[in-house]
Amino acid sequence: MLRALVLAATFFDQHMTLWEFREEQHESLTFRKTLVKYNSEFVNALFLSLNFRTCRLINHQFGKGNMYKDIWDMSFEARATLVVSVAFELKNDLTTDIDSLDSIECFCDFKGLFPEVITDDVVDSMKDKFIDYTQKDIWNYHDEDPDYYRDDAYKIEELAKQFEVDMSDTIKALESRATELEEEQRPDEPDDLEGYSSGRGSDSCSDSDIDSIFNTLRT
């Protein structure tokens, strides 16, 4: 449901409401943890809506108490404040909670969107976590599916380019393991020539039988 609200939002302040919403004044932010955990779609939707109008209406009074309604426009500074809030919240989460290659990919996507909040020290720290993950955790598979190995090999190749590290040995090892699993899981194919290459079963023919057949055809 929350994902649908994020993707269906057509006004900028809808994203602000989702980010800052709490049911009661002193309660925790209702959707914040979920938006941080599944941040990719929220960040993309937020950036796409930066120039969207707001959905809030305000009353204008003029003359002798005459009133009319108009769209309340949010200033650029207010919009930037929301973006900065999202950026720093995600930075803290993305640099500490690394449990998969997807987490590292999210960090790289975030770095591309908010390069000004990611320092060189943070990038170096993430590079070390990436290398450590590929050396240890990458082999902790619960399902011997060749596609998992190939998918991770591709992800590592792309991430290695961004961190400028050589991961060719790890990539080759993953692809080799995928090939091994494919060979192991390939079903045995029946030998269509079985029984013809050696031995004579009840259905085999002797040379004299074959000669007799051809002699019959000649007459």
pLDDT digits (tens, 9 = 90+) for 161-201: 999 999 999 999 999 989 998 888 887 666 555 554 544 45
CB neighbour list of residue 40: distance below 8 Å, 6 or more residues apart: 106, 109
Tokens of 123: 């990038």
pLDDT digits (tens, 9 = 90+) for 19-31: 888 887 777 888 8
The mean per-residue pLDDT over the stretch 82-109 comes to 77
Percentage of residues in the chain with pLDDT exceeding 90? 13
Q: Kindly report the backbone phi and psi dihedral angles of residue 61, in degrees, each rounded to the nearest multiple of 5, phi listed first.
A: -115, 135
Per the CB < 8 A criterion, the answer to whether 94 and 110 are in contact is yes
Confidence of residue 214 (pLDDT cuts 50, 70, 90): low
Q: CB-based burial of residue 15 (10 Å sphere; 0-12 exposed, 13-18 middle, 19+ buried)?
A: buried
Per the CB < 8 A criterion, the answer to whether 89 and 32 are in contact is yes
Alpha-carbon distance of 112 to 31, in angstroms, equals: 24
* CA torsion, ordered 174, 178, 181, 185, to nearest 10 deg: 170
pLDDT digits (tens, 9 = 90+) for 122-162: 889 889 989 988 887 777 765 678 898 899 999 999 999 99
Confidence of residue 205 (pLDDT cuts 50, 70, 90): low
What pLDDT shows up at residue 46? 83
Confidence of residue 218 (pLDDT cuts 50, 70, 90): low
pLDDT digits (tens, 9 = 90+) for 52-74: 888 888 887 777 777 878 777 88
